[in-house]
Structure 1
Amino acid sequence: MNKNFYAELKQELTQDILPYWTKHARDTVNGGFFGSIDNNNKCKAKEERSVVMVSRFLWSYSAAARLLKDASYMEMADWAYAYLSKYFFDTYYGGVFWSVSASGKALITRKQIYGNAFALYALSEYAVALLEIKKEETPAQVVMTHALTLFTLLEKHAKDAKQGGYWEARAQNWAETKETKLSQKDIDCDKSMNTNLHVMEAYTNLYRTLPLVFPHKSAEQKQIGHALEELISVHVSHILNKKDFHLDLYFNKNWKQTGKDEISYGHDIEASWLLWEAATELGKKTLQNALKPIVLTVAEKSLVEGFDPSTGGFENTFLNGTKDTTRVWWNQAEALNGFYNAWEITGRTDFAKAVEGVWQWIVTKQKDKVHGEWFAEVSKDGVPNKKEAKGGNWKTSYHNARCCMELMRRM
């Protein structure tokens, strides 16, 4: 592995990614963050704002403050939390709304479980940042209590107690709803890989952080651990396709696959390391031993089918016999995480070379050297698609800041 890799990651994180969003994303008139930023860094002030965007900013800057032990990042974290708690918290039914207008009016009020998971993920990280960086014990406990409340609500209203896993969405009052589509690229479904993956991610972080704020909540910790272990089982039993070791995307209530039979290389490699992280946090050797060949096979399939060694880029999807070779920003970030994790487990040079290849692609092709940050999409030939926004409701600091921090933390 490149001996200067740590320094390069830190420079990318602290000199480009985090400063970019601090400078360009904040709406100082309405509060919160702009719902769209173009490739010339011009913001669309009237664009609606999603809970995913706000939560991802909250997580990113909280995590950065903790890893780098730098209190300056708490300003953005505090800004995100103030907006999230003021406009997205449903004070009547609990949980968080999906989106609000620029003025803060609730727009889509249904309980998209994916959005609630990201709020939980962010709140649990922010709570510990308040405690460790700002030394604010009571505010940290208030925020962690919000995270615990979300966990309780998801377990009560979003979990399928019979078949396992979590529903795609619920109405504002947590009743069933047929409107479940996560984005324009997705379909209405009962359950999805994406939502269950990110509930697992959120529960992993809650399991890791709760004892730091509430050391004596052992009963709650046990509940979270049990739910997390069940989620790992759901991924292995229902979401992972045993025929090809890719993840299926959409399902009905009984976990029968529905919709398009598409392979998402980014989700495959992301799942490989998030599953391993969940099992590692639980600390059960038998679970890790059972999971190791699975996560490594998923990573290996991603390496063989998704990684392009000739350019270093990591490809997008495979559908109906056609591969989409577009290099999407978040796929590159998750490929770094996933291949690095596989290299740590195995020591295999092919995984190490993939990490180095993807990183070189990022710094030479994905990175916008003129206006900052990363292009959302770049062709196999290295041409950016500038029709895709530089930032907004789905593109924030989360994926690329996280890959820098995740690798730095492991080095």
Structure 2
Amino acid sequence: MEKMLVQWREELSEELTCDILPFWMAFLGDGVHFAGRIDGRGKAHPEAGKGAVLIARMLWTFSAAYRMTGRPEYLHAAGKLRKFLALWLIDPVHGGVYWEIAPDGSPVCGKKQSYAIGFAVYGLSEYVRATGDPEALDEAAALFGSLEEHVWDAMQGGYVEALTRNWKPLEDMRLSEKDANTYFSMNTHLHLLEPYANLLRVWREDRVATAVRKLIHIHTDRLFDPQTGHLNLFFDARWQPQGRKVSYGHDIEASWLIDEAALVLGEPQVTTDVGPVVEALAAAAVEGLRPDGSLIYEYDPQTERIDADRHWWVQAEAVVGFFNMYERTGDEAFLRRSHDAWQYIRTHLLDGGNGEWFWSVRADGSVNRDDDKAGFWKCPYHNSRMCMELIRRIERLLTKN
């Protein structure tokens, strides 16, 4: 096993530093005049708007890469992105971040999508972890404050999906066209738990710890369905589920992010309490595995429709989530599942010679070149984080052995 782990670590390091990060450094360019999108066939679209999620995820990526490697080019890229976020995406009047800006920097959509603000906190807090920059911490703290003041619904105990630029109710709160227009969603709460836990690492304030604690309980008590082992995805204002669709990628991603948040919080009872949910989510995600090691996208038990596409981010989260379960349980079946998912990625998703990964492989086995290579939703965070998480975890295992 040690030989396999050493080789795996080398493969991940090469993928991160020779494939993923060079692609995104070229994409970023001077950090100002870069295209908002590269399509699936490699064509740049300078006319495309730039989304807050893309910028924030790139900021997280290069900050984390610098923190891990110490390579100055990653710090330089992170600095450019942090400056871009502060100058162009943080709303100087109402707080929060714009959803999208035009190539010239003017706001295209000023709505306050909770998910996007969460990712801005994630990127800035990671920049603080990497550099100790007090101004970046102030920016992250202000965004956290805006979410707690305007987005947290204390009456219903959850974070509202979206509001207008000046924090008023919004009729269409959808995160994307494929999402349901509901008051609460799993996806937004998962991607608030993630940045809040990261913020707590650099800002040990009681109110941040309280927010992390309540988000953990939302996942275990509201989002998790104990009858199925899956997360429900959409909810009305009274937390009634709207549909029963299963997202295997979110199940496995949540399994390790909940675990991580509990460890960051550092309260033994919470760490103990999340255990059954973490393990149930990972076990439920196994339902979506295919013999080639890949994890399919979604299943709707009400219509029995299966979406068997293999999305890039789902495979990346499978690698981390199943490895986390191996560390948690010692069950080598989870280690094999993690490694099999990585082998699937290497064989099917890497765009050899051009860098980065394809969006997905379709159910029929063909590569999806219709969706973006880089853009509003296609960012380096899932795959770079997978590489860095696994490198760190493998090194920890090797040190123990």
Same fold, judged at TM 0.5 (above): yes
Question: 1:75 deviation in Å?
Answer: 1.6
Q: 1:237 aligns with which of 214, 217, 221?
A: 221
* 1:314 counterpart residue number: 295
Question: 1:27 deviation in Å?
Answer: 5.5
* 1:69 counterpart residue number: 70
* 1:207 counterpart residue number: 200
Q: 2:150 aligns with which of 150, 154, 157?
A: 157
What percentage of aligned pairs have identical amino acids? Answer: 38
Q: Distance in 2 between matches of 1:168 and 1:121?
A: 17
SS of residue matched to 1:37: coil
After TM superposition, list the pairs within 5 Å mapping 1:329-408 onto structure 2. 329-380=312-363, 382-408=365-391
Question: 1:33 deviation in Å?
Answer: 4.2
1:59–1:125 Cα contact (<8 Å) kept: yes
Q: Distance in 2 between matches of 1:351 and 1:325?
A: 21
Please list every run of 5 or more consecutive structure 1 residues that lacks an aligned counterpart in the other structure: 132-139, 211-217
Q: Distance in 2 between matches of 1:33 and 1:244?
A: 44
Alignment deviations for residues 76-121 of structure 1 (CA, whole Å, 9 cap, x no partner): 1112112111111111111111000111110110110000000001
Question: 1:392 deviation in Å?
Answer: 0.6
2:41–2:369 Cα contact (<8 Å) kept: no
Alignment deviations for residues 357-386 of structure 1 (CA, whole Å, 9 cap, x no partner): 101000011111132211101024542011
SS of residue matched to 2:339: helix
Task: Give the partner amino acid of 1:225.
Answer: A
Q: Distance in 1 between matches of 2:206 and 2:77?
A: 32
After TM superposition, list the pairs within 5 Å mapping 1:12-411 onto structure 2. 12-23=15-26, 25-26=27-28, 28=30, 31=32, 33-131=34-132, 140-210=133-203, 221-258=205-242, 260-303=243-286, 305-308=287-290, 310-319=291-300, 320-380=303-363, 382-411=365-394
* 1:10 counterpart residue number: 13
Alignment deviations for residues 238-291 of structure 1 (CA, whole Å, 9 cap, x no partner): 111121011111111111112x43111011111111100010111122111111
* 1:214 counterpart residue number: none
Q: Distance in 1 between matches of 2:80 and 2:373?
A: 21
SS of residue matched to 2:68: helix
Task: Give the partner amino acid of 1:26.
Answer: L
Alignment deviations for residues 272-312 of structure 1 (CA, whole Å, 9 cap, x no partner): 11100010111122111111111011101111x1111x211
Q: Distance in 1 between matches of 2:213 and 2:40?
A: 42
Q: Distance in 2 between matches of 1:255 and 1:100?
A: 33
* 1:215 counterpart residue number: none
Task: Give the partner amino acid of 1:205.
Answer: N
Task: Give the partner amino acid of 1:90.
Answer: D
Task: Give the partner amino acid of 1:312.
Answer: G
CA spacing shift, 1:87–1:269, aligned 2, 3 Å: same
Q: Distance in 2 between matches of 1:292 and 1:26?
A: 40
SS of residue matched to 1:36: coil
Name segments (4+ residues, structure 1) moved above 3 Å: none
Task: Give the partner amino acid of 2:35.
Answer: F
* 2:399 counterpart residue number: none
Q: Distance in 2 between matches of 1:32 and 1:336?
A: 34
Question: 1:50 deviation in Å?
Answer: 0.5
1:313–1:380 Cα contact (<8 Å) kept: no
Q: Distance in 1 between matches of 2:170 and 2:323?
A: 40
1:40–1:371 Cα contact (<8 Å) kept: no
Q: Distance in 2 between matches of 1:13 and 1:307?
A: 25
Question: 1:38 deviation in Å?
Answer: 2.1
Question: 1:209 deviation in Å?
Answer: 2.1
Question: 1:130 deviation in Å?
Answer: 2.2
Task: Give the partner amino acid of 1:104.
Answer: G
SS of residue matched to 1:392: coil
SS of residue matched to 1:76: helix
Q: Distance in 1 between matches of 2:35 and 2:258?
A: 32
Question: 1:388 deviation in Å?
Answer: 1.3
CA spacing shift, 1:172–1:57, aligned 2, 3 Å: same
Task: Give the partner amino acid of 2:207.
Answer: Q
Q: Distance in 1 between matches of 2:74 and 2:33?
A: 16
SS of residue matched to 2:124: helix
Alignment deviations for residues 204-230 of structure 1 (CA, whole Å, 9 cap, x no partner): 0000122xxxxxxx5xx1111111011
SS of residue matched to 1:123: helix
2:36–2:375 Cα contact (<8 Å) kept: yes
Question: 1:42 deviation in Å?
Answer: 1.8
Please list every run of 5 or more consecutive structure 2 residues that lacks an aligned counterpart in the other structure: 395-401
Question: 1:327 deviation in Å?
Answer: 0.6
Q: TM-score, normalised by structure 2?
A: 0.94
SS of residue matched to 1:241: coil
